[in-house]
Structure 1
Amino acid sequence: MNKCIRQISEENERKILSPVAALSCESRGRRFNEPECDIRTAFQRDRDRIIHSQSFRRLKHKTQVFLSPTGDHYRTRLTHTLEVSQIARTIANALQLNEDLTEAIALGHDLGHTPFGHAGERALAELSPNGFKHYEQSVRVVDILEKNGQGLNLTDEVRNGILCHTTGEDAYTLEGQIIRIADKIAYINHDIDDAIRAGVMAEEDIPLNIRMSLGMTKSERINNMVLNVVHNSTDSKILMDDDFWELFNDLHEFMFIAVYKNPVCKGEEVKAVAMLEKIYEHYTKHPEQLPEQFCTIADNESVDRAVCDYIAGMSDNYSVKVFNQLYVPKFWIE
């Protein structure tokens, strides 16, 4: 009997990849059993499902750091996701780990992120009595919210990598661990780039000892960070060496002061948070006005859960549209 293309790909994984790589044929499986694809491996299917999802497309209109920037070259949540994916795949390839799994986790890691970046996340965390974490919401998106409540039925390896990409327990696959560090490498460097473009800071503002150690330009820093991860990771842990990691954290502390708390970057956050608070208040009082999918969630789980799901899925643009519909007289905006 002739082997299908998927089976050949699975055999190639076993031949080519590191002994510690996650093999698609040995996946822990999906939440619901389904027939295998004749062409794509399990992790390739996951990647494709994420790319074709509505929540992935909405990332193009979700803030990364700069709210409503006047320029085409600032990062959005979507471009951030693509940069994380490319950095992660480079690391996975160098370590002979599973690139398909790595890419799927990277593309899905921020699907549950709120509008207006971490300001939106903090707003929902404070509003909801159950709290809110974007990485947990990302898993909820792929498990429940996508495809009108059917979810994407992803493999456990992808779901675990998404859940563990930010904090807490490490992912149980090395591919999942890559995403946590690739996410940090991506955002610290593209946030510097965006801040320079916005006139918030100059490259020369970064302390000289950090630049001399990590790299004098964005490209040098990314290359050096990736190389350090590749050279220092073990068969059980993806990591940088201690001295390099300390410098990386020094750079993050510098960015926290120079950019992440800078009024130029964060000046509109108060308005964005106030807007989300008003939307949350309205729909918790009037859950019957939610779209049908979220009314079902309100009935089956809770009103708070439904409202958080609805708001978290909004793009920046759509949340403004909803706020205007709820609170701004039409003749004012026509």
Structure 2
Amino acid sequence: MEVAGRITETFAERQRALEEVTLSPLAVRSYETRGRERDEEPCSVRTPFQRDRDRLVHSKPFRRLKGKTQVFIDPQGDHFRTRMTHTLETTAISRVVARALRLNEDLVEAIGLGHDTGHTPFGHAGEEALDEALRESFGGHFLHNEQSFRIAQQLNLTREVCEGILTHTGEREPATHEGKIVRIVDRIAYVNHDIDDALRYGLLTERDLPFDEIELLGATGSERIDTLVHDLVEASEAAGDVVQGDEVGNAMLSLRSFMFEHVYLGPQVLPEHKRARRVVRAIFDALVAEPERLPPGDEELATRVTDYLAGMTDRFALQYAAALGAE
């Protein structure tokens, strides 16, 4: 387009040209998205993935992440991680990796911000309790990645973002390199910051940590993340895919197994897990018995109960259960 003797370009045209120069051939181009479930007019100042990012940040499910547990139930301390801080750490690290590999940072950011929006209160203990209740009462099931995917579809996000959110955990592998980054970095982030929280909480001491893995990866959380990120970038560049090196990747998996044995499923947290399961089940049973407690909606009862319960923060769920006389 020529205006008053000078050539002007639209934002989309500039972005397309920029991505052709800066992005790897393996990257998803912002304007080659497979689109949305429901067509929308394009934004004149944001790419589709930037629009998804903003839509997530301004959504209620995202804001509620600040009140959802990462490991400890409604922890009494300002420095323990929540789902919100985990999400921000995962997203920040993922962007570093994406930039180093010349992949689409905006797509990575949107997937990272949305990957845990469907998580229940009380972390994995809450997820397991809701899954068990749905199986017994409705023959259904619950997985937080599927609930996050449902939220992404309700927000009408692009198919690439929805797919990346769905496959950040579970058996299905992400279809994009950007989705693969978030899948790996999610584990890098939570294993390392959960060690930090467990040390702060007193569940672990530095001497408890497995020596070989700590010696290879680093003595502090920042050192371990630095090692893991450099390994991820270097191994991925060599492989033409998003992968970890064998030695470092195996060390991280071993450290993750250690955390499951000693923290996530350890004897010290069993009372908290029992409390979480009791609260979730009490709320679930009350909602099923009295559907008028639920917000109005046209979906089946199981879906309405799931959406309402999974959306609760730790504190709201504890207060709700207390009002029922169950906490």
TM range (shorter): over 0.9
User: In structure 1, how many angstroms separate the alpha carbons of the residues matched to 2:215 and 2:101?
Assistant: 26
Shift of 1:137: 0.3
Which whole-Å CA distance do the structure 2 matches of 1:304 and 1:83 have between them?
33
C-alpha separation in 2, matches of 1:181 and 1:290:
36
**1:165-190 deviation line (CA, Å, top 9, x unaligned):** 01212111100010110000000000
Structure 1 residue 271 corresponds to structure 2 residue 281: no
In 1, the alpha carbon distance for the partners of 2:320 and 2:212 equals 47
Q: Which moved more, 1:170-179 or 1:226-235?
A: 226-235
Q: CA deviation at 1:265?
A: 3.4
Q: Give 1:268 deviation, angstroms.
A: 1.6
| Stretch moving more, 203-212 or 174-183 | 203-212
Please give the alpha-carbon distance, in whole angstroms, between the structure 1 residues aligned to 2:293 and 2:210.
52
- Asked if residue 108 in structure 1 is aligned to residue 114 in structure 2, the reply is yes
Deviations 1:268-293 (A, max 9, x none): 22112111111111111221321113
Q: Partner letter of residue 180 of structure 1? A: R
Query: How far did residue 236 of structure 1 move?
Result: 5.5
Counterpart residue number, 1:146: none
Given residue 258 of structure 1, which amino acid in structure 2 is its aligned partner?
H
Q: Is 1:3–2:3 an aligned residue pair? A: no
How far residue 31 of structure 1 moved from its aligned partner, in angstroms, is 0.5
Give 1:62 deviation, angstroms: 0.2
- What does 1:82-97 align with in structure 2 at a 5 Å threshold? 82-97=88-103
Q: Report SS of the residue matched to 1:68.
A: coil
> Retained in 2: the 8 A contact 1:6–1:37?
no
Tell me by how many angstroms 1:16 deviates: 0.5
Q: 1:259 aligned to 2:263?
A: yes
Structure-1 residue corresponding to 2:211: 208
Report the secondary structure of 1:327's partner residue.
coil
Kept in 1: contact 2:68–2:74 (CA 8 A): no
Partner residue of 1:75 out of 77, 81, 86: 81
Q: Deviations over 1:46-70 (max 9, x none)?
A: 0000000000000000000011222
TM normalised by structure 2 equals: 0.93
Match of 1:233, SS?
helix
Matched, 1:136 2:146: yes
CA distance in 1, matches of 2:202, 2:121: 24
Which range moved further: 38-47 or 318-327? 318-327
Is structure 2 residue 197 aligned with structure 1 residue 191? no
Q: Structure 2: how far apart are the matches of 1:106 and 1:236?
A: 22
Q: Superposed, which structure 2 residues align to 1:19-168 within 5 Å? A: 19-128=25-134, 129-143=139-153, 151-168=154-171
CA distance in 1, matches of 2:20, 2:268: 51
- In 2, the alpha carbon distance for the partners of 1:34 and 1:253 equals 44
Q: Which amino acid aligns with 1:138?
A: S
Deviation at 1:9, TM superposition (A): 2.0
- Contact 1:64 1:76 (C-alpha < 8 Å) held by counterparts: yes
Residue matched to 2:312: 314
Counterpart selection for 1:242 from 229, 241, 246: 246
In structure 2, what residue type is equivalent to 1:134? H
Match of 2:284 in 1: 280
Give the whole-Å Cα distance in 1 for the aligned partners of 2:108 and 2:87: 12
Q: CA RMSD in A?
A: 1.5
Alpha-carbon separation, structure 1, partners of 2:190 and 2:132 = 24
Give, in whole Å, the separation in 1 of the partners of 2:168 and 2:264: 20
User: Separation in 2 of the partners of 1:73 and 1:264?
Assistant: 20
Give the conservation status (yes or no) of the 8 Å contact 2:74–2:315.
Answer: no
Question: How many angstroms apart in 1 are the aligned matches of 2:292 and 2:240?
Answer: 49
Structure 1 unaligned spans of 5+: 144-150
Contact 1:51/1:107, CA 8 A, preserved across alignment: yes
1:171 aligns with one of 174, 178, 183? 174
